[in-house]
Structure 1
Amino acid sequence: MKKKICVVVASRANYGRVKSVMRAVQESPDLELQLIVGASTLLERFGRAIDVIKADGFTPLRSIYYVVEGETLSTQAKSTGMGIVELTTAFEDLKPDMVVTVADRFETMATAVAATYLNIPLVHLQGGEVSGNIDDRVRHAITKLADVHFVASEMSAERVISMGENPRYVFNYGCPAIDLLCDIDLSLDPRDMKKYQGVGKPVDWSKPYILMLQHPVTTAYGHGFEQVSETLEALKLVKDIQKIVMWPNIDAGSDHVSKGIRHFRENNMDAPIFYFKNFPPEDYARVLNNAVCCVGNSSSFIREGSFLGAPVVLVGDRQQGREHGNNIAFSNYERNQISDLIMKQLEHGRYKSDKRFGVGKAGSRIAEELTKLIL
């Protein structure tokens, strides 16, 4: 009988982090993939990642809405509670042998609590990392709930073990997101990229561009508008190069960041900036790889960016204290400092690839380990 592995995907970013694991589980003769898709993956304003997931050949057994409208601290807590309720029902129906959850978000916490209280072994990806946001505390809480840990770096493995976790169940196979970078052609086809719709000045994909992706900082709730405005004004100071701006994730404060982007857009209609909601994981990897500089606070700039050697200006304290490669230049929320660092990164160009977060094949190695685990 196949071992049932239930993977919960509840954000566009986490899909990219777990896709190669899902594929390896799906292809394994010893494992059965049970997929639950929920939260912002179902929402149009966050790009409906569920459409990408289905197009990739995955069939969700449950699609669960549990996002409370508002993107405030209160709604984030309530969404976590709703997620626990809804996921508990789904797990009871599906009766998985293991539940897989990723990283550090509120949806991840809901998955972890529901599985733990049902006595279902919990598999956690990307534990043991440090960041300067509430995610830091959430990630470590999930580590203590989890039974099995697939970390993304040696430093993370050491941290998880130092937290008292059994070394027998701590595995460093790297980050599955790196698998995508190794498995595809990372060049951009301008003709193919025209299919993506957005607003602003259309991108000439054959010419250099800067990629910006800035999420709200939950521990600095209420300051997202001015924070993202400073970054956008910094982009404006960098002349004669087009920019791509992506919309933030669903964390508390997302509305403030989105408002800042819309306000800037309406007052700078002639700026060479194009605004996108979302890309599938492979095309996002291509967009990231071909950017001459990345600006903002996305963890992808640290993880995939380090592997690709992409020049990055990391803004603010959302990723404070996080393990990173030499491609990162840190800035505060001040437009002149941000723009100065962008210019320095443009002058520097590409960095040497840093493989601290893996070299590919994490998904297949994780799936192989799942077949052998007895809990």
Structure 2
Amino acid sequence: MTGWRSKVPRKICILTGSRADYSHLSPVIDAINLHPELLMQLIVTGQHVDKKYGSTWKNIKNDGYKITKKIDIRLDSDSPLATTQSMGRAVSLIAKNLCELDPDFLVLLGDRFETFSAGIAALVLNIPIAHIHGGEETEAAFDDAIRHALTKISHLHFCAARLYANRVRQMGENPKRIHLVGAPGLDQLSTINYLNAEQLSSKLKIELTNTIFVIGYHPVTLKPNDTKKSINALISALEEFNNTILVFTGVNSDPGNSSISKIIHEFVKLSPKNRIYINTMDKEKYLSLMKISKVVIGNSSAGLIEAPALGVPTVNIGDRQKGRITSSSVINCLEEKEEIFKAIKTAVSHEFQQKTIKSKNFEVGNASKKIAEILANEKIEGITIKSFHDLNWDKK
């Protein structure tokens, strides 16, 4: 880019590619919009602009946010080749738009492939990157490598927990630019207008009168040959529970998603009165549903971040989230029918429900305001030139 601006407001560009990262980014967007020294830019891409995934850019617009750029990277299919081709288009198109916007910082969250593409574009364009949720671990997904790669090409690090901040430090990052702020997605838990069961029933078009299970299952990208076996094991375990409302949330766009979606759709069709597949929900509906549910089941990060913070038990299946901090309300199990069944039985038992308390694994509250304040005050000049900060291995 052409040089750093000293004047205010600073232009902060946020990129979101799916409902998953958007739910964590929306409090950050609010904080940036409210900060007098920051100017918000919003790039929407990936699943948000794809009809197959519900065209969720409309939800963003309905939330009152101004979308600066909308970029279609064409998620043509769920094969590894098609995903790689989408990444290539994303690098090219996002780079073009970043040149037009000329932001002072690009804010990226997490570990999605479209996020990585944006990071590559910003790196070459010499745009400083601020990365949220670095240092975390998800062993069985290629997201893990993407997250760590994003750490190395980023210049500011906003971490959710001490362990994660320490890992970023281990990767040679400047300790002065590693900030322990907490999980910004949790900021909204105390401000959202929660819907009750009757209101949700009306909006989701299903009677939420019985025990509710919320299920979110995504491809385990480093174990592609196990996908059908694993989702079928989950379905078989769920069949053992009667008088239960099963709410499946949308599958993400990772390679292998179509086979998972197909199996879930077929299962839902067998009993539409108590089973539903919802491709996308806004944050109000999703968090309200989670709050009144008996258990969250699957392999989504929501089961390890939002659900524990709401005091809702989680059955975390398989290795997709292996390595993340877990609370006492999370039951980990193998991707086998009997193991899943036993874990769900435990989670919904009166004893387990009674002892489940709201998790305090992350600092809750004001993470987004902290991020905005640091973005407004961090010295920019020379920030893209990084030294490797070694650990003192000889220190006792």
TM-score strictly above 0.5:
yes
1:367 — aligned with what? Answer: 372
Q: Which residue of 2 aligns with 1:184?
A: 192
Partner Cα separation in structure 2 for residue 241 and residue 251 of structure 1: 29
Residue 318 of structure 1: which of 317, 320, 324 is its match?
320
8 Å CA contact 1:6–1:100 kept in 2: the answer is yes
Q: In the alignment, is the contact (CA less than 8 A) between 1:238 and 1:343 conserved in 2? A: no
Secondary structure of the corresponding residue to residue 364 of structure 1? helix
1:189: how far off?
Answer: 4.8
Q: 1:59 to 1:270 in 2, by over 3 A?
A: closer
CA contact (8 A) 1:73 1:218 kept: no
Q: 1:22 to 1:238 in 2, by over 3 A?
A: same
Residue 185 (structure 1) shift: 4.0
Q: Within 5 Å, which residues of 2 pair with 1:238-317?
A: 238-266=241-269, 268-269=270-271, 272-317=274-319
Residues 127-159 of structure 1, C-alpha deviations (whole Å, 9 max, x = no match): 000112111111000000000000111110111
Structure 1 vs Structure 2 CA RMSD: 1.5
Q: Which residue among 5, 14, 24 is the counterpart of 2:31?
A: 24
Whichever residue aligns with residue 26 of structure 1, its letter is N
Larger Rg: 2
* Per-residue deviation, 1:206: 4.2
Q: Does 1:103 align with 2:110?
A: yes
Summarize the alignment of residues 1-375 of structure 1 with structure 2, pairs less than 5 Å apart. 1-132=8-139, 133-196=141-204, 202=206, 204-266=207-269, 268-269=270-271, 272-347=274-349, 348-349=352-353, 351-375=356-380
Distance 1:20 1:67, change over 3 A: same
| CA shift digits 1:99-152 (9 cap, x unpaired) | 001100101101111111100000000000011211111100000000000011
Q: In 2, distance between residues paired with 1:292 and 1:192?
A: 15
Code of the aligned partner of 1:166: N
Q: Give aligned pairs, total.
A: 369
User: Aligned to 2:365, what secondary structure does the other structure show?
Assistant: coil
For the Cα contact (< 8 Å) 2:195–2:284, is it kept in 1? no
Following superposition, the deviation at residue 47 of structure 1 comes to: 2.2
Deviation per CA, 1:178-229, whole angstroms, max 9, x where unpaired?
01112124452523552235xxxx2x23432111110111111243223212
Residue 193 to residue 86, structure 1, CA distance change in 2 (3 Å): farther
Is the CA contact (8 Å cut-off) linking 2:213 and 2:295 kept in structure 1? Answer: yes
Q: Distance in 2 between matches of 1:84 and 1:217?
A: 24
Q: Identify the range of structure 1 (39-48 vs 92-101) with the bigger mean alpha-carbon deviation.
A: 39-48
Q: 1:67 Cα deviation (Å)?
A: 3.0
In 1, Cα distance between equivalents of 2:214 and 2:262: 19
Normalising by structure 2, we get a TM-score of: 0.90
More deviation, 14-23/223-232? 223-232
Percentage of matched positions with identical amino acids: 30
Q: Distance in 1 between matches of 2:121 and 2:98?
A: 8
Mapped to 2, the partners of 1:344 and 1:195 lie a distance apart of 30
